[in-house]
Structure 1
Amino acid sequence: MGGVSGLVPDLDTNGVASNRITVSKQISKTLMQIVGVCILFAIAYQAATDGFALNDCIYGGIALILLILSKKITQRRMLTLTGAMVILLGISWQQSIGIILSGSYIVIASFLPHRSYTHSIIGLAFYAFILVKLNEQWPVNGMVAAGIAGYISHLLADMKLLPMNRRGVKWFAPVWNREF
């Protein structure tokens, strides 16, 4: 839990963390194109055998959206879609507040610039709240402490104290934007 939590603050970038939890952009594009083309072929077959119906327009629109998305989608939007899918999983799976909040964190992080709120006390507090909710539903001794320790270790490693970090961590953003 500590190791995974140590990667969570970097969900706000196109880095290791976000790329590990999303399907490859190329695989996603290919799947969208295949599904879009299959829908169009199904509509054409349906129209040829049973005639054209209003539902065909709706499905045709979905197919076109998939084909357009396949050309335009970025890895960050893949992260947004992943977060949305996690939220849907939480809703369908026993209304799990912890999973819904995890998906919310992923969606929010996908829209944030790097080292902003996920690298602050606000991000840490939100993540700690998620861990508490997950631990309420699936109790594991030490899960919350290990998760918080992993998250904090990432923030400490990103501080300007280390010579390789020119950009620090804004612990108190948005109230105080000083980098430490």
Structure 2
Amino acid sequence: MKGSTHLTIGTVVGIGAALAYAGSLPHAALLITAASFSALAADLDGPSLLSSRLSPLSRFLRYAVPTAGALAVIGVLLYGVRYGFTPLPVFASVALLLAGLTAKEGFIRNALVSAVGTGLLYLAWRASSLGLCGLGAFVVIAPWLKHRGMTHTLWVLAAWTALGYQLELEWGYPGLMLASGAGYFSHLAADTLTPSGVKWFSPLLRKSFKLR
């Protein structure tokens, strides 16, 4: 299924979480960002955001989104070093950069994604954050995995939801676990509707589950 479809579903999930839990505009923005990024995260193991048949708009977005994400990350880092880091700008800028990189493929793309994960691990170490540490480890490892492999399993869904719970505890934003877990689940559920299906229980069970 196209990444644009996953993104749309994740955004809807995030809006629902924001309506249920958000007490402020930044809180709502964080929940929507978390759900939208989670809906794309499973495809960090392969290009997905744009189809292989690129329209002029797709070609533009293929370069514009990661460029905007990189600039956002640089801006957040420069601001954070001087004034301190806050969750929403860091998460939003990294999510934008990674979303852009899912539209690319190859060794360089994988290395860039892993580099972003390494940066998250550094921030996790500076902030003593178990949640960011887990997120960083996922981002480092995921691009080198087989497409629709381990990232598309029940076990990683559970781990991703646990990361959302940990970040909810650390950052104090209710609903972050639900937004993250539901966003990731929406990706697997949507892929189950495709002809290839999803191997939910791999490697214990290699059967691909699909609903047409």
TM-score, reference length from structure 2:
0.55
CA distance in 2 between counterparts of 1:7 and 1:74 reads: 19
Question: Counterparts of 1:32-111 in structure 2 under 5 Å?
Answer: 74-92=108-126, 94-111=127-144
- Residue identity opposite 2:207 in structure 1: R
Shift of 1:23: 5.3
For the residue of structure 2 that corresponds to 1:179, the secondary structure is: coil
Q: Is the 8 A contact 2:113 2:140 kept in 1?
A: yes
Q: Percent identity?
A: 31
- 5+ residue gaps, structure 2, are 1-33, 51-61, 71-105
Deviation at residue 15 of structure 1 after TM alignment: 3.2
Residue number in structure 2 paired with 1:147: 180
Contact 2:168/2:175 (8 A) holds in 1: no
Dislocated runs of 4+, deviation >3 Å: none
Q: Is the 8 A contact 1:102 1:130 kept in 2?
A: yes
SS in 2 for 1:172: coil
**Structure 2 SS opposite 1:74:** helix
| Number of equivalences | 127
* 1:118 equivalent in structure 2: 151
**Deviation per residue, 1:38-68 (Å, 9 max, x gap):** xxxxxxxxxxxxxxxxxxxxxxxxxxxxxxx
* Structure 1 residue ranges without an equivalent (≥5): 28-71
Note the aligned Cα RMSD (angstroms): 2.4
Q: Does 1:127 align with 2:160?
A: yes
Counterpart residue number, 2:100: none
